Amino acid sequence: MNDQGFEKFCGKKIFPAFRKTPLPGGYMGKILRVNLTEGKLKDENLPETPILRQYIGGQGLAQYILMHELPPGTGPLDPGNPVIFMTGPLTGNGKTPASTIFMTTGLSNMTSSPNMTSGAVVSASAAGFFGTFLKFSGYDGIIITGVSKKPVYLWINNGKAELRDAGAIWGKDTHDTITAVQNEVGNPDARVACIGPAGESQIGYSMVVSDPHHSASHGGGSVMGSKKLKAVAVWGNKVVSVKNKEKLVEAGNQWRSKLKKVQYPQDKWTTGHAHHLKTIIYKNFQSTLFPGANKGFEKEEYTPRPCYECNRECPYDARITEGKHTGYVATLGAGSEQLEGVAFTLGVGGQDVHYLVEVMDRIGLDGSTFGCAAGVAFEAYDKGLLTSRQTDGMELKWGDADVVEKLLWKTARREGWLGGIVANGPKATAEAIGGDAKKWVVHVKGGAPALHDWRPYLSQMLGQITATGGGKPRFQGFELNPSPDFGYPEKTSSTSAEGKAKETQTGGDFREFTGAAGICWFGCRGGVFGHSIEALAAVTGWEDFSLEEARTVGERVWQMEHLFHLRYGWTPEEDLTNIGPRFLEPIPDGQFKGFTIARFLPGLVHDFHAACGWDIKSGKPYEETLKKFGLEEYAFMAHRG
Ligand code: SF4
């Protein structure tokens, strides 16, 4: 790879010994750097303020760090690939809702592609409490490199950081790990982000689980596992500084009063997003109709478990009241992707759904990717392409929750032939099974889409297809509940290609900005977005921060991510050809029967690339595109030799 341009960044001090510019409000001012190989920990000052204003925080700042520090040729599981935890300036301010986010960023080992020489950059977000308490402990973020000789966990106790032996915790599931670490540090209020058996096995789609209702689902777990880093625990009572408290409180009050709360219990009786989309994933996308999917949900007992100072109250506990797992309490997060991934697509409905989500969470596997990989295996078994000889005697019957649970554990441990292939993701599973399985698989660049049935929602679908693969998609349009104050183009029919390239691109700006600022997009939809701009201006002291600037930051971040992918060999064909065929088939039944994005390809993808300011043939950003976002000095990344 011709990556000579990188040399000019080597050794460039992005973390100043003494900051020359005043620290804006909202930042703690420090990053903790951990080298696990040497067992060394060191504080760094945050980059200077002009850089902070360009990248804000979250994955924006994390990618900026990666851009400067990731040596060419580094693979996802190499010691030099960091796992970066990063918050944003709004994280943990306590006055505004949805201000809870931390991101995990680094290279992922989930992506597979004929052209790419390394994993894609992933940024996975999680709400809850961990990000807030990371700031209360005195840090905006943590950069962790190297490999420890033995399992360890990192404990940051109110500004004092240390590595501790995790020998007794290694092997535990995520929820038991959280409790064990809290016990070890002697603080039940410590907040813990950790990996389960899946992360220890370095499975590309393993999650970082925290709190325990939350997970950075689309990346980071395997990188932590490769470093023998079991957990990061944080606690502190330091206060996030605010430049204009009065304005922040006002923005927070307005935002809170307009935020649409989850209605308990009735909202939890549904199939989640599938209910709103009016299409559900059933039996590996072979049907969009699953009448018994949520049978018995109305009999469960629900307890809201809201995130730090957020009145939307998405996370919850569900106590199972019938069947084999009666009495079990599942700790569930905000989204419903996991319901479709670990249950509906495998034909499992009823209260077992919540039990399986809990198992998956404890194991630390991302449900969307598991669902797409296991789905093709179940279909292959159903159609006689797999036999019980290859499944260690398991009968992969649709709807059998016990078998799904067994397969989850086998996958997490890479146990047996089937566990080993499902652990490598959907594309690899289909290729290992062979024959027609390759036609039945749903994947995007080897990984999985966020598992809802996006097929009749073109801007969402375009976002999934152009996603970076195995990582969280950056570009999602908002078909159902767009924030009207973010500047989306006028809404057109979800199945019309008109305006979709722009809508998808705008969705990317929204997602990247919210993650960078440290806010949860579930709490920024439906007309409250403007208050997040007011809040950011108030907390940082950047009084002239505008919607336009927010969108520019969002786009800068995904343009930078795109440069990474060019550096690792991405080509525009990836967005047209590296997709599982089932994802492009006409929808088999239901109200969208017969519809497919296939007839709009490649025009839609080309329109999208053009809207992004990239050359349609090479995918390289035009000079003016880079100039617009101040990224000219990184142009070398687009020019592989
Ligand atoms: S919107 Fe929901 S998931 Fe997001 S911070 Fe608030 S309660 Fe948590």
Residue 303 belongs to domain with CATH number: 1.10.569.10
With a 6 Å cutoff on the Cβ, whether 90 touches ligand 1 is no
**Residue 244 falls inside a structural domain:** no
Measured in angstroms, how far is the CA atom of residue 91 from the centroid of ligand 1? 12
* Inter-CA distances, 426 with 281, 374, 599, Å: 15, 7, 24
Whole-number percent of the chain with pLDDT over 90: 75
Query: In the predicted model, what is the mean pLDDT of residues 430-456?
Result: 93
Residue of the CA atom closest to atom 8 of ligand 1: 307
Distance 312 CA to ligand 1 centre (A): 6
CB 171 within 8 A of CB 338: no
Residues 464 and 433 in one domain: no
Ligand 1 centre to CA of 159 (Å) is 27
Q: What is the DSSP letter of 12?
A: -
Q: How far is the CA of 365 from the centre of ligand 1 (A)?
A: 21
For the stretch 496-542, pLDDT in tens is: 988 888 888 888 899 899 999 999 989 988 889 999 999 999 999 99
- Does 98 sit in the ligand 1 pocket, CB within 6 Å? yes
Domain that holds residue 359: 261-440
If you measure from the C-alpha of residue 209 to the centroid of ligand 1, how many angstroms do you get, rounded to a whole number? 16
Please choose, from the candidates 622, 621, 582, 577, the residue with its C-alpha nearest in 3D space to the C-alpha of residue 601. Answer: 577
- 357, 484: one domain: no
**To test ligand 1's pocket by mutation, which of 103, 210, 312, 331 has the most ligand atoms within 8 angstroms of CB?**
312
Query: Residue 174: what residue type?
Result: T
| Helical (H) or strand (E) element with 567 | helix 547-567
Average of pLDDT values for 613-632?
Answer: 93
Do the domain assignments include residue 447?
Answer: no
Q: Report residue 2's pLDDT band, with 50, 70 and 90 as the boundaries.
A: very low
Confidence of residue 10 (pLDDT cuts 50, 70, 90): low
Closest CA to 271 of 257, 289, 254: 289
pLDDT at residue 334, rounded to an integer: 83
The string of pLDDT tens digits covering residues 540-594 is 999 999 999 999 999 999 999 888 888 878 888 888 888 999 999 999 999 999 9
Asked if residue 58 and residue 204 are part of one domain, the reply reads yes
358 lines ligand 1 (CB under 6 A): no
Ligand 1 within 6 A of 310 CB? yes
| 389 and 464 fall within a common domain | no
Q: Which of 332-341, 474-483, 518-527 has the lowest mean pLDDT?
A: 474-483
Residue nearest (by alpha carbon) to ligand 1 atom 5: 98
Q: Where a domain ends, among 185, 217, 235?
A: 235
Q: How confident is the model at residue 641, as a pLDDT?
A: 39
Share of the chain above pLDDT 70, in %: 94
| CATH (domain of 508) | 1.10.599.10
Does residue 376 have its Cβ closer than 6 Å to ligand 1? no
- Is 435 contained in some domain? yes
- Domain shared by 462 and 426, yes or no: no
Same domain membership, residue 271 and residue 182: no
Span of 107-121, 170-184, 353-367, 411-425 with lowest mean pLDDT: 107-121
Residue 97 CA: which ligand 1 atom is closest?
Answer: 6
Domain stops at, among 235, 270, 300: 235
pLDDT tens digits for 302-317? 999 999 999 999 999 9
Contacting residues for 151 by C-beta, under 8 A, at least 6 apart: 165, 166, 167, 169, 170, 228, 229, 230
- Whether 398 maps to a domain, the answer reads yes
The CA-CA-CA angle for residues 506, 509, 511, to 5°, reads: 110
Same-domain check for residues 309 and 203: no
| 583 plus 520 within the same structural domain | yes
Atom of ligand 1 nearest to the CA of 128: 8
Report the atom number in ligand 1 closest to the C-alpha of 333: 3
Residue 275 · residue 265 · CB < 8 Å: no
List the one residue out of 193, 277, 259, 262 whose CA is nearest residue 230: 193
pLDDT of amino acid 470? 44
pLDDT in tens, 149-208: 999 999 999 999 999 999 999 999 999 999 999 999 999 999 999 999 999 999 999 999
Q: Note whether residue 61 is domain-resident.
A: yes
Domain count, the chain: 3
Residue 531 · residue 267 · CB < 8 Å: no
240 pLDDT more than 70: yes
pLDDT at site 450: 87
pLDDT top residue among 211 and 47? 47
Q: Do residues 265 and 299 both lie within one domain?
A: yes
In a domain, 448, yes or no: no
Q: What pLDDT does 477 receive?
A: 59
Place of tokens 């090479």: 618
DSSP string, 460-484: HHHHHHTS-SSS--S----SSS--G
Q: Which CATH number covers residue 34?
A: 3.60.9.10
Q: List the residue whose alpha carbon is closest to atom 1 of ligand 1.
A: 523
What's the rounded mean pLDDT across residues 270-296? Answer: 94
74 and 195 in a common domain: yes
Report residue 32: phi and psi, to 5°: -95, 125
Q: 346-376: per-residue pLDDT in tens? A: 999 999 999 999 999 999 999 999 999 999 9
Are residues 503 and 425 part of one domain?
A: no
Question: Is 561 among the domain residues?
Answer: yes
Q: Is residue 493 part of a domain?
A: yes
What is the structure's pLDDT at 228? 98
Q: Is 100 in the pocket of ligand 1 (CB under 6 A)?
A: yes
Among 406, 440, 474, the domain-final residue is 440
Split at pLDDT 50, 70, 90, the class of 623 is: very high
Q: Is the CB of 307 under 6 A from ligand 1?
A: yes
Mean pLDDT of all residues belonging to the chain? 92
Same domain, 284 and 357: yes
